[in-house]
Chains A and B, each alone.
Chain A
Amino acid sequence: MDLLDYAEGRIDAFLHEIEKLGESEFPYSHSKQALDVLRIRYREEKGQLNRLRRLRNTPDAKDTIRERCGGSLRLLATDPSLLGFILRSTNVRNAFEVYGPLLKICRQLLGDQAKLILSSEWSYIPHTYPYSTITNLPEFVLIGLPAPESSNPLLLPLAGHELGHSIWRHRKIEEKIRARLMKAIENSLGHQEPSERSNELTTEDSDVPIHKWRNAHILAMHQAQESFCDFIGLGIFGAAYPNAFAYLVSPGYSGTRSARYPKLSRRVSDIKKAAGVYHVEIGPDYEHQFLDEADPKTSEQEPNDVQLADQASAAIVNDLISLAQDVVKTPTADSSSGTAEDRAERLRKFVPIEHSGGLANILNAGWTVYKELLHPPSSDQPDEGLPRDKIRALHETILKSIEVYEIETITAPADHA
């Protein structure tokens, strides 16, 4: 067999898998649409390879065939994980009720053309393929939340952070902060070797300055993006976001921090700072839930990169808070007919919320009641562990509230929808 046969064989196998997945029960159309797009794309790819067969025996065509097959195989290297994601998005462990309201938020922030696939992934670290980053599915945002928590709607605010990554690209936030970040790095350097740096501030394809602080700049940009996403999550979901964040992240993900994230204690204090700006109330003891992880390991040549990145990204936090606030100024909540206390009171009685005004209001009421279940305000009883039955009932009531919200949205008169 030659390379052309291998490449065609692999595309055939991939197409066959797409056909099989097409027989799944799709809870919403975007998963199916993504499969359809991939099917068309790979049929085209197969067609192109097939056309190359005519050139097979042409002496000069060898390089062309190799290049074309290489392109096909590179595509195949990444796309199987998409099929897995799509497959998991159809699993009934997912709480499909949340899809419609989350899509609504997604489109408010990214535009009506945005398509959403929501999945449960086998990792506690929420995961996303942001908008316009998947070559074959540029209009799709893929968000994966942890599968073991798929029936827990209280973690849904973490999707706000993941949505932040799409907004980061869509609103070109990186371009807006690049200069400020570079300036922050320069400030951190204390204006050492100015002539040398100014000579090196040229750019290459990635638009990142080429000089010896390039790595620090890249890390700082990643950190800034993560902070921005935290602020988006906070802006969309209010206090429910830091609560969900703490549920999943505290006291710390692992022993060692990734340099692409700000230090956990700083992330938490930045979230608190943003909460102050956004008028979101977070409990006074919030930061006590977290422990700092060990600093990331760095090579000997770059001992200062992480430190520089930390300082630079910290210096632009206020800018990021403002940028995220500008984005979520777009209303993601509808008008509600009750107060936060009214909503919580309904959940306390295991009665779904009506006229909630949106996902954020429901989830914040949910967090209020969840915390009360864990720590009853006037209980002298000894700690008997988690009230699992009540927590399950609360989850169910929250999910029904979300469905009721969607029904109200669908059936509302046109001028209110």
Chain B
Amino acid sequence: MILKSAQIAARLLDPKDRLVITPNPTEEALGKGSAAVDLRLGTWFLTLRPARMPYLGIGSISEARATKTHYVKFGESYYLHPNNFALGVTLEWLKLPKDLAGYVVGKSSWGRRGLIIATATGVHPGFTGCLTLELTNAGEMPILLEPGMRVCQLFLHSTIGDLDSTERSTFSCRRKPVLGSLTRDPMSDALREHGRQISRGTMVGGLLGGMRRAMTDGSFSLPDEEVDLALGFLLPNPHSAEVEEGTGLLAGKFASGQIFRIGRSGMLLSLPGIFAALHTIWASLQPIAPFAVALAVLAMVKEARGAIGRLEPDAAAVIWAAYLRSKGESQLISFYQAVNAERTARGLDASNESQIAGVVDKLISMQILAFEKNADPTLAEWILVRPD
């Protein structure tokens, strides 16, 4: 049952289980004959700082880093420009009794001017504090927001039976707008972990497949689509197996010291040219690419420079070396030693790419298994690590 304004007024005076709206609504705010109470805009605002964060998501960034607080005193204005978004707050402090719930909607007169208010509108029984308002200007003209102006309306419903208790949420007892935190729950955790296990296998497979192909493919050419895939860390979805395969392919070819033709440019690049290109890619990727991929590119430049001509063309080892480097020099050395020991034990020719690739492949697989067993970060996760 929705409360009429007269009933709302009565509940404001009810000594037993009082509805609190402070400052008290004026007669105009209670609107004779209406079924809601108007609420006013408060003095505090919160805006997002997109330059401080790559995205918004669960646990992505702390509120303090993600937002900027503004105070607008009475008599001054906040300009909300078209397509801009800000959090505001009601001037009124509410306390809902246990038998009332509500929802907030914008004033239609503002809505017709493009101002959208309160898209997350539910107010639970027992809520205490000022309501955070989500303010968006969907119109074409800047909108002047003034603290104290009537901006939204609160509809109140009586619940069937009282709640036994009301627990204060993180949004409770606040006089400023709050972004709040997004938290995981057991079900979303389970679903997420399931999905990750599938993609982990695919990605690792893709990466290794790409490296293997790089070592055995004698064409030395890279089709357009493979260049795109190889540079896939620029794409919005770095989780795809195709991207990982492309990355591995490019890495393998570069690091094995092959000279090849780059995609649609048709240019034949020498090794120094490729190094220069890698440097450029590294520099441009550093701020935006997954950290580990960029690290791998950098490592390839360094490692390949020394590796060509004196070491086996173990491209995968080069990639792996970047990872191991992050784990410590001793592990890097031991990995090289393991490759060489295995090669020697098998009597393999250092110049036989496919044989070396097989050894490296096997060792990497063993390492991955070992890491997974020890609950260490997997290669796939490592590659997708983002800088904080």
Query: Looking at the complex, which one of A27, A28, A351 makes contact with B93 (CB distance below 8 Å)?
Result: A351
Query: Which of B24, B95, B174 is A351 in contact with, Cβ under 8 Å?
Result: B95
Verify if B258 is at the interface (C-beta below 8 Å from A): no
Cβ-defined contact, A28 with B73, below 8 A: yes
Residues from chain A with Cβ under 8 Å of B43 in the complex: 96-97, 403
Asked if residues A400 and B71 are in contact (CB atoms below 8 Å), the reply is no
Question: Would you call A329 an interface residue if the criterion is a C-beta within 8 Å of the partner chain's C-beta atoms?
Answer: no
Q: Is the CB–CB distance between A400 and B22 below 8 Å?
A: yes
**Shortest CB distance A128–B (Å):** 23
Q: Is B211 interfacial (CB 8 A cutoff)?
A: no
Residues of B within 8 Å of A403, CB to CB, are 43, 175
Q: Is the CB of B173 within 8 A of A350?
A: yes
The residue that A25 contacts in the complex, of B70, B95, B128, B172, with Cβ under 8 A, is B70
Instruction: With CB as the reference atom, state the residue of chain A lying closest to B176.
Output: A396
Closest chain B residue to A95, Cβ basis: B175
What sequence of 0s and 1s flags, for each residue 65-98 of chain A, a beta carbon within 8 Å of any chain B beta carbon? Answer: 0000000000000000000000000001000110
Which of the residues A28, A96, A351, A396 comes within 8 Å of B22, measured between beta carbons?
Answer: A351
Q: How far is the CB of A387 from chain B (nearest CB, A)?
A: 12
Query: In chain B between 125 and 141, which residues have their CB closer than 8 angstroms to a CB of chain A?
Result: 128-130
Interface 9-mer from A117-125, A174-182, A315-323, A404-412: A404-412
B181 within 8 A of A: no
Assess whether B175 is in contact with A96, with CB atoms less than 8 Å apart. no
Q: Please count how many residues in chain B sit with their CB below 8 Å of the partner chain's CB atoms.
A: 21
B 10-46 to A, binary, CB cutoff 8 A, 1 in contact else 0: 0000000000101110000000000000000001000
Min CB gap A5→B, angstroms: 39
Evaluate contact between A407 and B23: CB separation under 8 angstroms: yes
Q: Chain B nearest CB: distance from A29 CB in Å?
A: 9
Question: B168 interface residue, CB < 8 Å from A?
Answer: yes
Tell me if A389 counts as interface (CB < 8 A to partner B).
yes
Chain A neighbourhood of B20, CB < 8 A: 351
Knowing A25-B70, A351-B95, A352-B22 are in contact, say whether A400-B130 is a contact too (CB < 8 A): yes
Say yes or no: B174 contacts A396, CB within 8 Å: yes
* B128: chain A residues within 8 A (beta carbon): 350-351, 393
A287 cross-chain contacts in B, Cβ below 8 A: none
Q: Which residue of A lies closest to B95 (CB)?
A: A351
Say whether chain A's binding surface is mostly helix, strand, loop, or mixed.
helix
Check: B79 CB closer than 8 A to any chain A CB.
Answer: no
Instruction: Give the Cβ gap from B148 to chain A, nearest Cβ, in Å.
Output: 8
Q: Are A399 and B95 also in contact (CB < 8 A) when A92-B69, A92-B71, A96-B73 are?
A: no
* Measured CA separation A397–B129 after assembly (Å): 8
Question: Which residues of chain A have C-beta atoms less than 8 A from B91's C-beta?
Answer: 407
Q: Does B371 contact A (CB under 8 A)?
A: no
Residue A392 is within 8 A (CB to CB) of chain B in the complex? yes
Q: How far is it, in angstroms, between the C-alpha of A350 and the C-alpha of B127 when the chains are bound?
A: 11
B311-325 near A? 1/0 per residue, CB < 8 Å:
000000000000000
Q: Which residues of B contact A28 (CB under 8 A)?
A: 73
Query: Taking the nearest CB of chain B, how far is it from the CB of A190, in angstroms?
Result: 59
Contacting pair A96 B23 (CB below 8 A)? no
Are B73 and A349 within 8 A (Cβ)?
A: no
Q: Is the CB of A354 within 8 A of B129?
A: no
B71 touches A396 (CB 8 A): no
Contacting pair B70 A397 (CB below 8 A): no
B71 touching A354, Cβ below 8 Å: no
- CB A153 to nearest CB in B, in angstroms, measures 11
Query: Is A397 a contact partner of B71 (Cβ separation < 8 A)?
Result: no
Q: Is the CB of B70 within 8 A of A92?
A: yes
Give chain B nearest CB distance to A355 CB in angstroms: 10
Q: How far apart sit A345 and B218, CA to CA, in the bound complex (Å)?
A: 84
A 380-395 binary contact with B (CB < 8 Å = 1; else 0): 0000000001001100
Give 9 CB contacts A-B under 8 Å: A25-B70, A92-B69, A92-B71, A351-B128, A354-B24, A396-B174, A404-B23, A407-B23, A408-B23
Rank and list the top 9 A-B pairs by shortest CB-CB distance, nearest first. A393-B173, A92-B69, A352-B22, A400-B175, A27-B71, A400-B93, A396-B175, A351-B20, A352-B93
Known: A92-B69, A351-B128, A397-B93. 18 other contacts (CB 8 A): A25-B71, A27-B71, A96-B73, A97-B43, A97-B175, A351-B20, A351-B95, A352-B22, A354-B24, A393-B128, A393-B172, A396-B129, A396-B173, A396-B174, A396-B175, A397-B173, A399-B175, A407-B91
User: A residues engaging B (CB < 8 A)?
Assistant: 25, 27-28, 92, 96-97, 349-352, 354, 389, 392-393, 396-397, 399-400, 403-404, 407-408, 410
